[in-house]
Structure 1
Amino acid sequence: MWGEVEVPEKDVYQFPKGLPGFEEETEFALIPWEDTPFSYLQSVREKDLSFLLVSPFTFVPNYSFELNEVDKEELEIVEQVSVYSMVTIHSQTNKSTMNLLAPVVLNPEQRLGKQVVLHQTPYETRHLIWAEDEAKSVKGGV
């Protein structure tokens, strides 16, 4: 999809347990999609495996959750943390969704990452990115 891309080491994250369904993939590069709020999480080993990510706060400003102690320890989080949601692009762009129930949490200091599944939360796996009124103004896609 990309051809060969040079990725700075600071943008490569270790996912010690992989991602759900892709446990063998433990190294991913975070690649910004220029001039959009989106990024790609690209497997370093498997060129055909990448996920579209977005900061959930871009579309859901009041999104929040408490990271449990086990996840904090696994990610070695002290201060800095980045949170992303996986995006599913629908053929009708206004029906594209993001997964708020299982955010991708990154520690940019240690370059560690994990997809965390939240419990006892109102969030869902298919949250519409654009509200109906916003969707009307989205022309031609992302």
Structure 2
Amino acid sequence: MEIKTKYQDVITINKDQILTFENGIPAFESETSFVLLPFENGTPFFVLQSVKTQEVAFILINPFDFVPGYQVKLPDSTIELLEIDKPEDVATFVMLTVKEPFKETTANLQAPVIINTQKQKGKQLLISDGAYQTKHAIFKEPAVSKGEK
């Protein structure tokens, strides 16, 4: 089937690529069908693109590539909802708030997107753990050595 995307124009997807978010995504509850696409080959970024609405697309990253020690404890209700049988069936992403300049882009570590890759089911989990921020800087400034300005 063909879908219109926000970043890649019209693309063809297979029905088995569609991820179902039974309750939608917070603030987008009516959007329940998405597809996960690479943003651009060779980059660590992904797009969670609504199948229904072209303009509803979120930029995602794998938080474990950017935040050492990041952990998510899945509640039993999420494990049940997503029908998770094995830990290796779970993919975890976080949404980015893209800023100008791009190096100021942040990640929402309090609301990871959890996907059961075997059942093609997803949910955005809201974590109230104070250890993580909603605007976590993912690009660290390089240290400036003495004598440089």
* TM-score, normalisation: structure 1: 0.89
Check conservation: 1:39, 1:53, Cα contact below 8 A: yes
Q: Which moved more, 1:104-113 or 1:8-17?
A: 8-17
Partner of 2:78: 71
AA partner of residue 117 (structure 2): P
Is 1:132 equivalent to 2:141 in the alignment? yes
Of stretches 35-44 and 61-70 in structure 1, the one that deviates more from structure 2 is: 61-70
Q: Which has the larger radius of gyration?
A: 2
Could you say which residue in structure 2 is the equivalent of 1:56?
63
Aligned length, in residue pairs: 134
* More off after superposition, 30-39 vs 3-12: 3-12
Partner of 1:119: 128
1-10 vs 54-63, which moves further: 1-10
Q: Percent identity?
A: 36
Letter of the 2:20 counterpart: Q
- In 1, are the aligned partners of 2:110 and 2:126 still within 8 Å (CA)? yes
TM-score after normalising by structure 2: 0.85
CA RMSD of the aligned region, Å? 1.3
Q: Deviation string for 1:51-84 (max 9, x for gaps)?
A: 0000001111310021010011011111110000
Distance 1:61 1:5 in 2: 34
- What is the CA distance between 1:133 and its match in structure 2? 1.6
Unaligned runs of 5+ in 2: 1-5, 144-149
Residue 50 of structure 1 and its aligned partner are, at CA, apart by 0.3
Once residues 36 and 94 of structure 1 are traced to their aligned partners in structure 2, the CA distance between those partners, rounded to angstroms, is: 14
Structure 1 runs (4+) deviating above 4 angstroms are none
Whether the 8 Å contact between 1:11 and 1:31 is mirrored in structure 2 is no
Q: Secondary structure at the match of 1:113?
A: strand
Instruction: Kindly state the Cα deviation for residue 126 of structure 1 after the two structures are TM-superposed.
Output: 0.4
- The Cα shift of 1:128 comes to 0.3
Question: Which runs of 5 or more structure 1 residues have no equivalent in the other structure?
Answer: 135-142
Instruction: Report which of the two has the higher share of strand.
Output: 2
Cα distance between partner residues in 1 of 2:49 and 2:57? 4
